[in-house]
Amino acid sequence: MRIECPTCQTVLEDVPPDFPTRPFCSGRCKLIDLGNWLDERYRVSTPVNPELMDEEGLLN
């Protein structure tokens, strides 16, 4: 399996499916991403419209 870290864009080849930090390359990148969420650097751009959701809570 090939992954590209969403934090630092490092590409890892031949990663096992149970790679513990997937989709990140390391625990450090995983913590950086968590910190970005906790610092509210990431945001959902528009509110979710409940009318567009199916019974399972997924967007149609």
- Give the domain CATH number at 33: 3.30.50.10
Identify the H or E element spanning 50: none
d(CA 36, CA 42) in angstroms, rounded, equals: 6
pTM beyond 0.85: no
| pLDDT tens-digit series, residues 1-47 | 999 999 999 999 999 999 999 999 999 999 999 999 999 998 877 77
Domain count, the chain: 1
Please report where in the chains the tokens 């031949």 appear, as a residue: 14
Q: Is 35 helix (H, G, I), strand (E, B) or coil?
A: helix
In degrees, to the nearest 5, what angle opens at C-alpha 19 toward C-alphas 14 and 7? Answer: 90
**Domain extent at residue 17:** 3-44
- Asked, for residue 53, whether it belongs to a domain, the answer is no
- Asked, for residue 59, whether it belongs to a domain, the answer is no
- In whole angstroms, how large is the CA radius of gyration of the chain? 16
- Asked, for residue 31, whether it belongs to a domain, the answer is yes
